[in-house]
Structure 1
C-alpha cells in the first residue's frame, strides 16, 4: 500500500526520502476546462506537487445550501492525472485574499468574535461543513491511490489567536472525518505566531518571501526535528484598487527559491499560478497597525506576478524557477504544453441594451431580497388588492341597494373606487417597482416584473370579462352598459398575457409537468371564477378565489424559474 509519512528526518514516500516541490494553484480561481493546462505548466516548471485552499463561503453561501462541493474532488482527480501530489488546506479560515477569508457571512455574522475559537456553536457548524467536504479529500488520499499527501489544520492561526483547545479539536475532527495523511500548520516565522498557531504532534511550517535561513532558524526553535518546509514562498504579491501594481524582481525571487532548497527544505511556491477573482469574491484589507485604517479592496486579477501568469503563459520568472528546480530534479523536466491562444489584436466592445426578455437577472444586485419584493408585488397585482376590493364592493353595495347617503360612506367609496381600484394606480405601482429595479441595475428583473405583472392582471381581467358576459355585475342599465364595453379590451389583454405565459414556460425550460401544472391552474381559475360569480353570485369572493389562484400560478412559475437559475449544475464551474 502506498504511504506518505513524516519523521524526524523528513518526508518519506513508501519509505524513501522525498522533497516536496509544490506550487499553489486554487481550483476556484481557474476555469475547470483550464485545470489540465495549468497543472501541466506546474509540472513543466519542475514541481511535483500542487497546493490548494478550499473556500467554505463559495460552497455554502447560505446555511445548508451546498454548491458543487464535488469541484474539489474533480480538481484532485485532475491533479492525479497530471502526475502530481496534492496538499489540501480546508480552513475553515483560509485568508487567500478571498472574500471574508473563506468564512461564510452567515457564520461571521452569527458568531462574531467567537469564530475560530473553542465556542461550541461555532465548532458545530464547522463540523457539519467538514463532514460534507472532507469525503472529497479522504477518498483521494495517497493511501487509497489518490494524490493527497498533506492536509492543513486551520491557517496561519498564530496571526489571529492562541486557542490551543480549538486547534487540537480541529485536528481531532480531521482525523474523525477519515484524514489519515500527515496534518500540518503554517504560520509566519515569528515566535508568537508559531507559539499560537502550532499543535503538538503536527508538522509546523513557515510562510515567508525571503530570508529562508533566518526563518527556518526560528522554526527550529519550536520544532527541533522533522522536515523543514516553507509552505508559502511569496514569489509575488496581490494588488489593490487604486494602488500601483506590486511586482517582484524575477532574479530576486529565483534567489529566494534557491536559498530554501539549499537549506535542504521543501517549498510551496505561492502562487505558482494565481488566476482570477471571479464575480465579487476578491477580498480586502485594512491599513494601519491595528487594521482600522484605509479600506483596501483587492482587484479582480489574482495574477500575483506568479511564474505562470493569469493567462496561463510562462513568464521570465517561470524560466528562472525552472532553471533552479532542474538542478533538484531526478531527470529531464517535461516539455511546456502549448501556450494558450490569445486575441490576435485589440478588440473594441460596445455595451448595448437589447430590448428582449432574457432569463431572470443574474447580476449580483438582483438579490433574493429584490426577488422577494417583486414576488410580493406580483401577488398584490394578481389578487387585485382583493381585501380592499371586498370593502369597496360592500360599501358600494350598501350605497346602491339601500340608498345610503352618509357622506362618510360616500367619501370612502369614492377613495376606494378612484384610487385603490383604479387601474392607473396599479400601473403606477408597477412602474415604480420597475423603475426602482432598473435603477438598482437589475434590468432583466425589471423587465421580468413588468411582463409577469401584465400576465397576472390581464389573465384575471380576461377570465372575469368572459363570465361577466353571462351575468353583469350591476343590474341597472347604466352600469351594465358600461361593463358590457369591457370584455373586448380585457380579451385582448388576456391574449397578450397568455403569450407572456407561454414565454415564461419556454424561458424556464418547462417540461411536461410544469406545462400541465400551468394548464391546471388556468382551468381551476376559470372554473373558480365561473362558479363563484355566475352560480353563487358572490362578487367579492370571485376576486379572492380567482386572484389567489392566479397569484399562486405566477409565484409558482417565478419560484420554478428562480430555482432553475440558482441551482448549480453537476459538473459546472459556476465561479
Structure 2
C-alpha cells in the first residue's frame, strides 16, 4: 500500500506557524509576544525577589484556596481530602514533564513509522533540556516556599521545600504542549489526532494553572512567571529550527526518500 501524498497541507486551517495557540495549528510566537512574555517573567521575578505588590494577591488567593479544604495545613502537617485531592493531582499532570513526554514519544514513534524521521525526537529532547536548564537554576537559587510549606512565606521554606518559582508545571504545559502540536501538524496524518493534540496544547496550560493554584501547589506569580518563560523558550526552539542550520540538521535526521518539504506537512486524512 502506497503512502498518501504529504506534499500538500490538508487544509488551510492546520498551520505550522499559527500566530496564537489554536486547535488547528502549532503556535510559533511572534516577536511582540516574546517581548511581552519576557517582560512578564522579569516583572514576576522582581516581584518575588523584592517582595513586590503581587505578594498580597498571592497570599489572599492562597488563603482563599486553603479555605476550600482540598488540602489543609494543620499543626500535624498537610491534610489531603479525597477525592478532590486526587482529581486535582491528575489535572495538574497536564503540566507534568514526564506525562507530556510520554504522549509526545508516541507521536515520535508514529513519525518514525511513516516518515523514518528522528526530528520529533530531537525537538522533544531539546525542549526538555532547555526547560530544565532555564527553570531549575531559578528554583535552586531563589529557594521560594510553596503556599502550604510550614514556613508559610515566600522564602526560607523548611526541610528543603523551596523551589516554587517559576512553576515548572506551567512551563511544561505550554512548551511541551506546543512542541507536541508542532510535531502533530507536521507529521501526523490522522486529522482527528492532529486536532486532539492541538486542542490539548490550547487547554493544558489553563487546566494546569487552575489545578496547581487550586491545590495550593503554587502561588499565582509562580504560574505567570512559568508562562512567560515557556513562551520565550518555545520561540527560541522554533526560531532555531527555522534557521538554515536547523533545517539542514532536520534533513539529516530524516531517512525517508519521500521526505516532505519544510512547512505545513499535514496530509489528507486517510
TM-score in same-fold range (> 0.5): no
TM-score (norm 2): 0.37
Higher RCO (CA-CA < 8 Å; seq separation 6+): 2
**Larger-gyration structure (1/2):** 1
**Quick check: which one's helix share is greater?**
2
